Structure 1
Amino acid sequence: MVHHAQLFSILSSLLCFVLKPAAVSGRGFIARDITFENTAGPQKHQAVALRSDSDLSVFFRCAIKGYQDSLYTHTMRQFYRECKITGTVDFIFGDGAVLFQNCQILAKQGLPNQKNTITAQGRKDPNQPTGFSIQFCNISADTDLLPSVNSTPTYLGRPWKLYSRTIIMQSYISDAIRPQGWLEWNQDFALDTLYYAEYMNNGPGASLSERVKWPGYHVLNNSAQAVNFTVAQFIEGDLWLPSTGVKYTSGFGV
């Protein structure tokens, strides 16, 4: 476990965490060019590769690899840029205020008859400023899933907690994603109280015609609705990201 009170930067491209999850906390953690991997495999079920509780943390050009629950964005403001994140069930989960930008988010082949769910955001209170914002990302199947992509249901996410919040915008969504887009957690749990939204996505899996009709699901039609989920607004990135030296897009880009 890494603890620190000041900005801490890891620059090694050779470091790889296996079996036990890497856990970071404190303030201002920066990881560059690192692979965090849990090699337990799908048969071990939950197997976290990386857990972050670090406020104002940045992960740049990192790989987070696992199967179920690969990335645990537990709490606080976090920014992921140009990362590769792979997994099967709920492989991005937690209750941080997290923005993913220009990342590859790839679903893998899991256990037989298993459904893939990319996100499981865990907001418990509607007043919490937490959630997942996924912008300029590529949401697709990893190479091991491609042969069975049509027979392996894969979804953008499901509500782990009552006020789960996830926004996907300006991203590429492949045909690995089922047309309904999102999956229930347990019958009608949280379908009225969650906040799931999509804005200006593209690709064969981005069609909205067959998306879920839940009360908490929204199609955002203009930038005024989506601006709250940009780097500048959602994680107040303009106030702290410049000092990290990591490139980012503050708003919607060109």
Structure 2
Amino acid sequence: MWLRQRRGLCRLLFWTILLVEIINHLVYSSNGVYVHNNTQKHDDHLRGTRVDAVVAKDGSGEFRTINGAVNAAPDYSNTRFVIYVKAGVYHENVVVGERKSNLTIIGDGMDATIVAGNLSYVEGYSLTSTATFAVFGKDFIAQDMGFHNTAGAARYQAVALVAAGDRGAFYRCKMVGYQDTLYARSNRQFFRDCAIYGTVDFIFGDSAAVFQNCTIRPRKPLPGQFNAITAQGRVDPSSKTGFSFQNCVVSPAENLAGVKTFLGRPWRNHSRVVFTNTYMHSFIDPNGWVPWSPRDRASPDTVYYAEFGNYGGGAATAGRVRWKGLHLGMSSEEVSMFSAESFIDGSSWIIPR
């Protein structure tokens, strides 16, 4: 209600706190480009929100490339700069540098507006440099976008998205790759209603990341490989990093008969991952978790892995590995520690839907 009463503040306030009823479509008016939704009923306070730049492959916007629009955004901005990217496949490697704060990028849908790259680690690039889309600026928001790395399984590590800037939020986005798809590298990250596809360690890094209502889709790896959904890399036991999955769905993207798929393995000794209230398809290996190396009989005792309230054929815990760091009985207080509010201080920068 307070937003409706202060329409003059919509542009600053709405985009600054985002993830309260975000928009779906943009249309033109005589005064520029405005948020509008032609397909669903919308709250009134969303109408009239202006965007600052339009990207279109056909030349109908100010920019033909996403990088062009990003580079044109002001540096170290204290107000939100909104870029609308029209439907299409954009073959470029986009970098949102540290100077580009308070930037929002909105597409026409995770399967309609796609950024595609094909760089890989085996070609001599650093892992971060393989990213199709990399974010280092703080307070970044992406909505209705697809980020793909098409290098393929045979080229091993190839990142689709790097999320490194503090308070990054991704809403209705799709990340597609094979090994190392989503590099949640550092700082606080929030993913909601996203879809993530990959094979080996395809959600990895050392950020404090919360995944809400996301679909996790393991796909077929190279022959002889197994799938590990997560490879969280916490090094310092006092660090507040880790991955928290809430109300998600873990299901195969294709027939994975004969392919072992695990919830994760510890990239570093203090790796921390929690799954709560998540559907797990029966293709998940009964062990649940796997050591980092085949030479290791178990993980370090210092990891923190937890499962609570999950369901589906893959959620049964009777066959789970017997690790000191695996917690299968969590109290409500422990579960609340990994909520968006507690784990990433979400109440200070995200308003829950």
TM-score (norm 2): 0.66
- Residue 135 in structure 1 maps to residue 246 in structure 2: yes
How many pairs does the alignment contain? 240
Distance 1:139 1:153 in 2: 14
Distance 1:5 1:63 in 2: 22
Match of 1:210, as an amino acid?
A: G
Distance 1:8 1:107 in 2: 30
For structure 1, list consecutive stretches of 5 or more residues without a partner in the other structure. Answer: 249-254
Q: Contact conserved, 2:177 with 2:197, CA < 8 A, in 1? A: yes
Match of 2:177, as an amino acid?
A: G
Q: Contact conserved, 1:157 with 1:182, CA < 8 A, in 2? A: yes
Q: How far is the alpha carbon of 1:221 from its aligned partner?
A: 3.5
- Residue 107 in structure 1 maps to residue 218 in structure 2: yes
- Residue 164 in structure 1 maps to residue 259 in structure 2: no
- Residue 208 in structure 1 maps to residue 208 in structure 2: no
For structure 2, list consecutive stretches of 5 or more residues without a partner in the other structure. Answer: 1-94, 120-130
What is the CA RMSD across the aligned residues, in angstroms? Answer: 1.2
Pairing 1:59-98 to 2, within 5 Å after superposition: 59-98=170-209
Q: What are the Cα deviations for residues 70-110 of structure 1, in whole angstroms up to 9, with x where unaligned?
A: 00011000000000000000000000000000000010001
Q: Contact conserved, 1:27 with 1:56, CA < 8 A, in 2? A: yes
Q: Contact conserved, 2:149 with 2:158, CA < 8 A, in 1? A: yes
Deviates more, 1:19-28 or 1:48-57: 19-28
Match of 2:96, as an amino acid?
A: V
Q: What are the Cα deviations for residues 30-72 of structure 1, in whole angstroms up to 9, with x where unaligned?
A: 0001110000110000011111111000000000000000000
Partner of 1:225: 334
Partner of 2:85: none
Percent of residue pairs identical: 43
Q: How far is the alpha carbon of 1:190 from its aligned partner?
A: 4.1
Distance 1:221 1:97 in 2: 20
Distance 2:134 2:298 in 1: 30
Q: Contact conserved, 1:23 with 1:50, CA < 8 A, in 2? A: yes
Partner of 1:183: 290
Distance 2:265 2:187 in 1: 21
Partner of 2:116: 17
Partner of 2:230: 119
Q: Contact conserved, 1:161 with 1:190, CA < 8 A, in 2? A: no
Q: Contact conserved, 2:145 with 2:172, CA < 8 A, in 1? A: yes
Match of 2:116, as an amino acid?
A: F
TM-score (norm 1): 0.91
Q: How far is the alpha carbon of 1:188 from its aligned partner?
A: 4.4
Q: How far is the alpha carbon of 1:5 from its aligned partner?
A: 4.6
Q: Contact conserved, 1:220 with 1:226, CA < 8 A, in 2? A: no
Which of 31, 35, 38 does residue 142 from structure 2 map onto? 31
Which of 78, 82, 96 does residue 2 from structure 1 map onto? 96
Match of 1:168, as an amino acid?
A: F
Q: How far is the alpha carbon of 1:9 from its aligned partner?
A: 0.7
Deviates more, 1:179-188 or 1:89-98: 179-188
Deviates more, 1:216-225 or 1:30-39: 216-225
Match of 1:18, as an amino acid?
A: G
Distance 1:130 1:211 in 2: 24
The structure 1 segments of at least 4 consecutive aligned residues displaced by more than 4 Å after TM superposition are none
Deviates more, 1:7-16 or 1:126-135: 7-16
Higher relative contact order (CA 8 A, sep 6+): 1
Q: How far is the alpha carbon of 1:17 from its aligned partner?
A: 2.8
- Residue 196 in structure 1 maps to residue 291 in structure 2: no
Distance 1:219 1:103 in 2: 22
Secondary structure, aligned partner of 1:229: coil
Distance 1:17 1:24 in 2: 15
Distance 1:230 1:176 in 2: 27
Q: Contact conserved, 1:162 with 1:189, CA < 8 A, in 2? A: no
